[in-house]
């Protein structure tokens, strides 16, 4: 005899929309997606043009401030971010206290959470709830700090994973060059420099991952941010959302899936298993794209460039191609409109670049920080922020009286 809210005439109209599949929680000027046509635009600029002509820091500026930066703005922006890449000794020590086998994404999220504790000046609970409405300099300061430190936190998370000491950032390198430097570097600080072509490939991947409107982690960012918590805490929440295998963890899950399949001859059996609902085909399907994910096409090209630079062919690529072709030509997948998403190819590129598997979601998180910040800023700047608080349909017990422990059966 479950109690239903329909019985309660006082409850008023509620829209029951599990997983918010049809609910627009806000209006936004940042990113436009047409899922049927496979269109993705940031502030009106098509993703294809941004991936080809722009770079990650410029796209981050565009997402956050609404326009492409002028030359002086661009130089200032890069300078500020690259000079905010250092972590305090306290924060570095806190990072070092993680276990060597902790998942890098868990380290990334917990370090951002810790940054909240290390940054009382960024906390509206301490500085006044209108801090970021009244003080744009304070807001901009947090923005460059977050973007700058994201690469160092990420690189340190990987260094913990491979049991190596941290490498200090270099502000004279580009954003992705510096990140590769901190991750790769072994012994020769003066002579070592990452291959600029690989840094450029990573930069293109960062452009492609920078924002994707109301995805799960960005929704988490705006939801948690709506309570006016500090931006570090909201980013930690968004990072936790991204950690899951249905979201940012999918690039890692794709490689584990391809390794499990092993060889091309095992593809048909795997496809049958998916159709019999024994497993998901990771890297396929999308809540919004029902035709094609424009990012997956660009990543496929980047993958070929990276394989060429590295000079060795990734053995799993043949399995990936055979699996993709088998799924795309199968009516079961066609009817469900399942196509490769951004994660289908990105994991293969990260693997070719030599990153450990469990580091892959972090490579998604670092650029997505730009999108999270853009949405957080938009929400604060709107001046109409309200705390996010969905309703529910209660389907539990009706009122009943407490039974003392010795009378329960």
Structure tokens that stand for 78 in this block: 């890069």
**Closest among 176, 16, 96, 124 to 380, alpha carbons compared:** 124
Q: Does 326 bind ligand ACO (CB under 6 A)?
A: no
Report the distance separating Cα 349 and Cα 345, nearest Å. 7
Q: Are the C-beta atoms of residues 350 and 307 closer than 8 Å to each other?
A: no
Q: Does 336 bind ligand ACO (CB under 6 A)?
A: yes
Known catalytic residue at 212: no
Q: Does 206 bind ligand ACO (CB under 6 A)?
A: no
Q: Does 340 bind ligand ACO (CB under 6 A)?
A: no
Q: Are the C-beta atoms of residues 362 and 319 closer than 8 Å to each other?
A: no
CB of 276 to ligand ACO, least distance (A): 10
Q: Does 287 bind ligand ACO (CB under 6 A)?
A: yes
245 phi, psi to nearest 5 deg: -65, -20
Catalytic-labelled residue, pool 84, 343, 358, 375: 343
| Span interacting with ligand ACO, options 47-55, 165-173, 227-235, 334-342, rule CB under 6 A | 334-342
Q: Are the C-beta atoms of residues 154 and 179 closer than 8 Å to each other?
A: yes
40 phi, psi to nearest 5 deg: -135, 125
Size of the site for ligand ACO (CB under 6 A): 17
Known catalytic residue at 286: yes
| Span interacting with ligand ACO, options 167-175, 181-189, 280-288, 352-360, rule CB under 6 A | 280-288
Q: Are the C-beta atoms of residues 242 and 365 closer than 8 Å to each other?
A: yes
Among 149, 286, 351, 375, binds ligand ACO (CB under 6 A): 286
Secondary structure (3-state) at 324: helix
Known catalytic residue at 247: yes
Report the distance separating Cα 282 and Cα 244, nearest Å. 12
Q: Does 338 bind ligand ACO (CB under 6 A)?
A: yes
Site residues for ligand ACO, window 241-260 (CB under 6 A)?
246-247, 250
Catalytic-labelled residue, pool 286, 293, 358, 375: 286
Catalytic residues, by residue number, are 247, 286, 343
Residues that bind ligand ACO (CB under 6 A): 246-247, 250, 274, 280-287, 336, 338, 341-343
């Amino acid at each position: 005899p479950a109690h239903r809210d329909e019985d309660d005439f006082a409850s008023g109209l509620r829209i029951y929309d599990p997983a918010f599949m049809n609910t627009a929680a806000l209006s936004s000027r940042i990113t436009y997606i047409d899922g049927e046509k496979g269109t993705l635009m940031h502030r009106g600029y098509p993703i294809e043009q941004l991936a080809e002509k722009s770079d990650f820091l410029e796209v981050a500026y565009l997402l956050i401030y609404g326009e492409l930066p002028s030359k002086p703005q661009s130089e200032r922006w890069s300078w500020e971010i690259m000079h905010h890449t250092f972590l305090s000794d306290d924060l570095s020590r806190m990072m070092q206290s993680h276990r060597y086998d902790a998942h890098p994404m868990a380290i990334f999220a917990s370090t951002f959470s810790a940054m909240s504790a290390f940054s009382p000046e960024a906390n509206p609970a301490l500085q006044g709830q209108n801090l970021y409405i009244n003080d744009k300099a304070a807001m901009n300061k947090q923005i460059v700090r977050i973007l700058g430190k994201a690469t160092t936190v990420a690189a340190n998370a990987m260094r913990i994973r491979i049991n190596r000491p941290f490498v200090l950032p270099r502000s004279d390198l580009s954003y992705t060059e510096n990140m590769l430097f901190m991750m790769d570097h072994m012994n020769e600080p003066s002579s070592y420099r990452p291959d600029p072509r690989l840094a450029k490939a990573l930069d293109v991947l960062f452009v492609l991952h920078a924002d994707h409107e109301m995805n799960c982690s960005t929704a988490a960012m705006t939801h948690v941010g709506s309570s006016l918590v500090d931006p570090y805490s909201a980013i930690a929440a968004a990072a936790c959302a991204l950690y899951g295998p249905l979201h940012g963890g999918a690039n890692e899950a794709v490689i584990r899936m391809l390794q499990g399949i092993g060889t091309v001859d095992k593809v048909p059996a795997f496809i049958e298993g998916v159709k019999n609902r024994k497993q998901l085909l990771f890297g396929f399907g999308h809540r919004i794209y029902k035709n094609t994910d424009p990012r997956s096409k660009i990543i496929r090209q980047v993958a070929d460039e990276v394989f060429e630079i590295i000079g060795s062919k990734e053995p799993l690529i043949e399995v990936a191609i055979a699996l993709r072709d088998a799924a795309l030509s199968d009516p079961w997948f066609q009817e469900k409109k399942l196509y490769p998403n951004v994660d289908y190819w990105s994991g293969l590129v990260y693997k070719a670049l030599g990153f450990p598997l469990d580091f892959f979601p972090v490579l998604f998180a670092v650029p997505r920080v730009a999108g999270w910040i853009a949405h957080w800023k938009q929400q604060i700047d709107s001046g109409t922020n309200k705390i996010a608080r969905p309703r529910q349909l209660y389907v539990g017990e009706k009122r009943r009286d407490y039974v003392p422990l010795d009378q329960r059966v």
